[in-house]
Amino acid sequence: MKKYIIIVAGGTGSRMKSDVPKQFILLRGKPILMRTIERFTHSFPDIQIIVVLNAQYRNEWKSLCEKHQFTIEHTITEGGQTRFHSVKNGLALVPDNCVVGVHDAARPLVSYNTIINAFNTAEETGNATPAVPLTESIRFIENGENKAVDRNKYSIIQTPQCFHSSDLRQAFMQEYQSTFTDDASVLESTGKKINLIEGNKENIKITSPQDLMLAELILSQEK
């Protein structure tokens, strides 16, 4: 099946304490978004790439591509009011009968194994979502009270989350709900079972200066 990836790049630099949108911040000399795109073309050279970008940043992205001589082909579409609406805009460019992944632009350290496994599993089973186990103790907090819970019953969810495109397009026809925290939760609301696969711990989402420092370190140690 043909493969598409929707890269959601609608963020700003607010939590990064930067005037530059976080997806444009340099990571070892190259904008984060470029490094993210490269991960997918290295995994699947023929993958179709759709970048969902805030309209006000399109010219800046074009300038960055020229400056860094970035020539990987991709399609730009406009971001929406929420992540849900941004993904929906991206899905409008995706045909049925293919596998589509949705990935956070601020996750440039996703491993090739995670990408390949997510797409292949989704093609075979209908969907795939990377997850990694919790390694720290957690507590449930409600109404000012808290109690310990079994961390083995919980996982940290990552992207890319991959799906049969017809299933995901159908799921995104419904109205937005605040409980939709990711694409798997949108599909799950239609009654579909979500298939978890092994993610990679390095696949962090860069949202703070500390995350950027960690990403620099991880990238410097990659072969």
pLDDT in tens, 167-216: 999 999 999 999 999 999 999 999 999 999 999 999 999 999 999 999 99
What backbone phi and psi angles, to 5 degrees, belong to 57? Answer: -105, 0
What backbone phi and psi angles, to 5 degrees, belong to 92? Answer: -65, -20
What backbone phi and psi angles, to 5 degrees, belong to 103? Answer: -135, 145
Residue with tokens 């399109």, as numbered in its chain: 58
Percent of the chain with pLDDT over 90: 93
pLDDT in tens, 68-94: 999 999 999 999 999 999 999 999 999
Distance CA 212, CA 32 (A): 10
Which CATH fold would you assign to the domain 2-221? Spore Coat Polysaccharide Biosynthesis Protein SpsA; Chain A (3.90.550)
Provide the pLDDT confidence category of residue 17 given band limits of 50, 70 and 90.
low
